[in-house]
Amino acid sequence: MSPRRKLDANERNFFLAGAATTKTPLRWGLPLTAILAFVLAAVAIAGSIFMVVDHESVKRTEDRDASALFYVRGFMTEYTSLDPFHANDYADRILAQGTGDFAKSFKEKLNEIVIQVARAEPTTGVVQEAGVQRWNDNGSADILVATNVKSTGPDGKTPIESGTRWVVTTIEEGQQWKISQLIQVI
* Interval 62-121: pLDDT, tens: 999 999 999 999 999 999 999 999 999 999 999 999 998 999 999 999 999 999 999 888
Q: How many domains does the chain have?
A: 1
Is residue 21 assigned to a domain? no
Q: What is the CATH number of the domain that holds 163?
A: 3.10.450.50
Kindly give the interhelix angle for 87-96 and 29-80, rounded to the nearest 10 degrees. Answer: 160
178 DSSP assignment? E
Whether 179 is covered by a domain: the verdict is yes
The residues, any chain, with a CB within 8 Å of residue 178's CB and separated by 6 or more, are 97, 98, 99, 100, 170, 171, 172
Give the pLDDT confidence score for residue 69 in this predicted structure.
Answer: 94
* Structural domain span for residue 82: 29-185
Q: Is the pTM of this model over 0.95?
A: no
Contact 152, 121 (CB under 8 A): yes
